[in-house]
Amino acid sequence: MAVGLCLYFTNSGSRIVNSNGIIPKSKISLASNTVMQKAQLVTNTIKSPANEFPFPVSPKILGEEEKMALIESCTKKLKENNAVLIAHYYTDPEIQSLAEATGGFVGDSLEMAKFGANHSSDTLVIAGVKFMGETSKMLSPHKKVIMPTLEATCSLDIGCPAKEFGEFIAKHPDRTVVVYANTSAAVKAQADWVITSSIAVDVIKHLMAKGEKILWAPDKHLGRYIQKETGADMLLWDGYCVVHDEFKHQALVTTKALFPDAAILVHPESPENIIQLADHVGSTSQLIKAAKDLPHQQLIVATDKGIFHKMQQAAPDKELIIAPTAGEGATCKSCAQCPWMKMNQLTNMEQVFESEHLERGNNEIFVEKSLIEKAMRPLARMIAFKG
């Protein structure tokens, strides 16, 4: 019995392979020893108040004619409203393509906010999840920031409520508070530093050199990765990304056996036993760069499959293989795609410009001035950090 494979061919010439499928029972035991050996690293992890995340309803599948009509309408409305579309790497390909075609931008959360701050448009349309809209608003408080839906959230955000996190901080006043960018404005406002995965290790090394002990939130997997890379004294909040947490060790081992010449690219929000198998670990932007720079013609990618839109552009002739999120029985929940990112659709993108939404502020991001002032201090440290 082998891992099931589905093949997708793209206009760029690259081929995408979906490796989710059934894993043989005899292989599963190989993963358990690795997990047990590393269990001691979890001792400083604090449980988050929210451990289960109700997924939103999957959006309606559109026909090609309907898509083209919506793209035409959205393009027109962006221009009419002096608005620019800024999309995250994990949104659907149609959303990313629309951003690119209309003079917008596709990137990670910090790159998105920086682009919006430097753009001449009065209105920023953020296709992503709510904390991204908040970050953009904090960097561009004078601009109107709207989103296709304000219901698009993130398991890392949900799993780190501001009140409970504040109580946690109060119990450890001797620690420097460092939070991941994937948090609410209210959590950022309580931090000393905000960081992205691309600079996480360098920032923690910088703080270690000053003799500082770290309180980290919210992603436990990224926290353990940083801890292992730096040797820092870190107290970890027990949050996780529902997409990266699902990648399966033994299934990835089996996939690698099927593609022995492939390089494995892993985002550090993934579990430790997945990171151990990686040829390259990095942020979204770093993984796209690695896809282009590595000599391997086959790449097994352990992050949200929305990244493949940009990865195909960077490496059009390479074969991209989706890392398995399905274990024995081929079951998965997120299946390598953030359910909240998928809430950004052409339908609600078009509706966001309807007068009733604009006048009532139904889709607009608002952040209190006092909160912006507090959250901008750690954000400014991140932006100014040179490594």
The CATH number given to whatever domain includes residue 85 is 3.40.50.10800
d(CA 203, CA 183): 18
| pLDDT for position 334 | 76
Smallest CA-to-CA distance from 204 within 236, 172, 182, 173 is with: 236
> Model's pTM, two decimal places?
0.86
- What are the angstrom distances between the C-alpha of 229 and each of 35, 144, 181, 226? 18, 40, 19, 5
Residue 1 lies in a domain: no
Same domain, 356 and 305: no
Same domain, 124 and 77: yes
Last residue of a domain, one of 191, 210, 238: 238
CA atoms within 13 A on the CB side of 113: 23
Same domain, 259 and 311: yes
Residue 264 lies in a domain: yes
Same domain, 88 and 122: yes
* Burial grade of 240 (CB within 10 A; 0-12, 13-18, 19 or more): buried
Same domain, 35 and 45: no
Last residue of a domain, one of 202, 221, 238: 238
| pLDDT for position 12 | 52
User: Can you tell me whether residue 47 is helix, strand or coil?
Assistant: strand
Domain range for 348? 64-155+341-384
Q: What is the pLDDT of residues 286-308, one digit of tens each?
A: 999 999 999 999 999 999 999 99
Residue 346 lies in a domain: yes
As for how many domains the chain has, the answer is 3
Same domain, 256 and 194: no
| pLDDT for position 219 | 98
Same domain, 45 and 176: yes
Residue 350 lies in a domain: yes
Residue 332 lies in a domain: no
| pLDDT for position 313 | 97
Same domain, 269 and 351: no
Residue 190 lies in a domain: yes
Question: Which residues of the chain have a pLDDT value below 70?
Answer: 1-15, 17, 19-52, 327-331, 356-358, 387
CB count in 10 Å sphere of residue 264: 23
Same domain, 255 and 119: no
Residue 109 lies in a domain: yes
| pLDDT for position 361 | 72
| pLDDT for position 3 | 44
Same domain, 349 and 299: no
Smallest CA-to-CA distance from 268 within 249, 288, 290, 245 is with: 245
Same domain, 150 and 282: no
| pLDDT for position 1 | 33
Same domain, 173 and 229: yes
Residue 257 lies in a domain: yes
| pLDDT for position 356 | 67
